[in-house]
Structure 1
Amino acid sequence: MQNLEVISHHVATLSAEKSALYDTMNIPASMYAKEYSWGSVLMASKTAKIDTFMFFVHSGTTLPESVASYLIPNQEQQVAQTIALNIDLGGGAVASQLAEVLQEYPNVAIIWYGHTRLVGDANRVYVDEQIPYSPYRGETLWSMEENSDDFSRMRELISAETVGSFLDDVSQLVAQHEPRTCLYFHSYDTKAAGGRATKTITDSFDSNSLRPAGMLFYENPQAIDRPFITAEHRDEVVVLISQLLSAIPYLETTGRSDVTVDEPYKAAESLLTYVGTLIPEAEQLFFEVRKDLFIEAPEDTTQAVVSFMLQAMQLLSK
């Protein structure tokens, strides 16, 4: 337990230095919130039927006690540094803004994964990619290549005790609420950004020099009886994305004005695999927005992103 307390202290200090947006999730009194064993929170209306799940899985900072106890003694500060360096602050900021307006959308629920992405990414198919050298940043214990073999051995432990528990609970939540749609704010790295390219994904985009990110939309075919993604939907969402980009001056500095949509988008790893397993016939609509741009974005920018997410959800629910 001592390892975990020391790591948590260091993470809190480092994260506070990195951005004031860190871990600002506040749960309004009007909302129902339930914390699960996997360190996550389901946040939703107390009364309405849940129709949509919104997942945020890369913004947490906690480390399970079982994983902390496995770590090399006296390395707590290095591990904490790696956790802090790789926090998805952009996603965290968007989730926090969404939580503030969630009471206006009683059919929407947030599922917030509280553990560090170093744990959440342990579901990758190949052992040597469980806690890979890239895309994680920092010359720290978790990211140094010479330590990769040691941490790869943690795969079974992490999968069973943290990721496995998360999936079990998500499965139960899907069965219990039968949501029509699941939305997942997702990012991945490309080689040019210093990260690990994902085959068949980066090849389909013309922005290899960027670090793309976006939102993925899922349909639960058991909840409705019509096709989810149609050409009309795709065109309407492209227009909506264009409006989002043009409405946010903060994004103009990137020189990124075009919008790409890939339909359907079949992913091979991360939460997409799990949602795809739970909802085998789901089609996904992907759009490209650089989530890392929101790390230092002003509040009105994150509000605009939240507004876009909710508009897109309503559009696809027509």
Structure 2
Amino acid sequence: MPRTVLAQHLRFPLTRPFRIARGVKTEAEVVTVAIGEDGRTGCGEAVPYPRYGESPASALATIETVRDRIEEGAGREELLSLLPAGAARNAIDCALWDLEAKLSGRDVASMIGGPVPRPVASALTVTIDDPEAMARTAAGLAEMPLLKVKVDAGDPEAQIRAVRKAAPRARLIVDPNESWDRDLVEAMQPLLIEMHVDLLEQPVPAGSDEWLEGFAPAVPICADESIHVAEDLPTVARRYQAVNVKLDKTGGLTAALTLAQAARERGLGLMTGCMVSSSLSMAPALHVAMLSDFVDLDGPLWLREDRFGGVRQESGFLHPPVDRFWGTS
């Protein structure tokens, strides 16, 4: 029986606005791919991201360009040469992993030789607001092990201080989403130490980070927008101390595992991140999370309604989806 490929654009309303320096999101827009073969179906999900010139329409159009090759039997390795890194390749790649698991009777963990995903401490996000509102949010998360604090260039010191006061014991990741400049990064170093921040994520715009090659940060700086695939590492490793691996950037789990391994070989720290999306995006990302120092996979927790059987959060730990949700036979 020949393969079939079905691609769709879906929307998931959020419980509340998700505000970062780049804008506000009120729903998660995802593209899903379902690949059927021999009575089994493998599924994958991706988030086309405007920051990278993507939209649901462009991702669906990209998927159409390789539909025939996938239906003819092209696999994950061939896909790497058929499409560039990005959301379209991610959705197909993850669907192929899921399909292979179902057809072979093996789970993805055994296929990659890694551990079965287990509950892992995942950052819970405090989005941008006035410091008082951010403090109220942080107070409700004060007993969680890890928080990600979204800030901008307006008054990040007040934002960070407010969160730290409300959550004195949590580990903190500060994420300006490219909104700072060199002067602000340098000025914020003493505060980052004082507030016991564990990681500063992509403070300046990708493409304007050359000066980091000569900079000795007070806390490790993690590349996000500056790193997509393993081929970016020679430059990134000179500027950053850690990298954020996101499947929507790498173009799937296949390339994400390659990036994670290559980053480790260079002695870089690892974070596994996500876009705001459903648990179908988190299930494959959890395999990278098992290799990571920091995990930021709270995307589904922002949805009004996630996919049935998806991830769940307890006391700041993200629990994997139920059996057979993704990547198992």
TM-score range, shorter chain: under 0.3
TM-score by length of 2: 0.25
Higher strand fraction: Structure 1 or Structure 2? 2
TM-score by length of 1: 0.26
Higher helix fraction: Structure 1 or Structure 2? 1
